[in-house]
Amino acid sequence: MVDGKAVYSCMMYAMQAIRRKITTIEGLQRGNELDIVQKSFMEGGGLQCGYCTSGFIMSARALLDSNPNPDLPEVKDALVGNLCRCTGYTKIFESILLAAKAQQQNEKGKKPKSS
């Protein structure tokens, strides 16, 4: 992701990354704690061979950052350009919707910050 938005890395020159915030799959993890999208892919069966998984997870993270409660058509639209040759995409879509629900549950459980 570049400045919080999903981009096709193959369509971006290195010079375009200067002074931009770049987030890779490794940058989602906080210490030993996986991002909710990473966890949901494991729990929801969205992983297959692993070749395309990073792209799907990064696209899903960008989607959930901009739209925390997507429906299935919005998930499908956010993944246009991501290709998987192992699955029929159903488990990938389900994993992203699972991540959205888990993220919402986490948000509800957070205590408000006191000033």
Task: Give the domain CATH number at 36.
Answer: 1.10.150.120
Q: Is residue 83 part of a domain?
A: yes
- Total structural domains in the chain? 1
pLDDT at 115: 46
Q: Please, are residues 37 and 61 in contact by the beta-carbon 8 Å criterion? A: yes
% of the chain residues with pLDDT over 70: 96
Q: Is residue 68 part of a domain?
A: yes
Domain that holds residue 94: 9-109
Q: pTM here?
A: 0.88
Q: Please, are residues 35 and 53 in contact by the beta-carbon 8 Å criterion? A: no
Q: Is residue 101 part of a domain?
A: yes
Q: Is residue 20 part of a domain?
A: yes
Query: At residue 111, does pLDDT exceed 90?
Result: no
| Phi, psi angle pair for 105, to nearest 5° | -65, -40
Collapse the DSSP code of 106 into the 3-class scheme (helix H, G, I; strand E, B; otherwise coil) and give the result.
Answer: helix
Count helices and strands in the chain by DSSP H and E runs: 5, 0
Which residues make Cβ contacts (< 8 Å) with residue 81, sequence separation at least 6?
8
Q: Is residue 74 part of a domain?
A: yes
Q: Is residue 3 part of a domain?
A: no
Q: Is residue 73 part of a domain?
A: yes
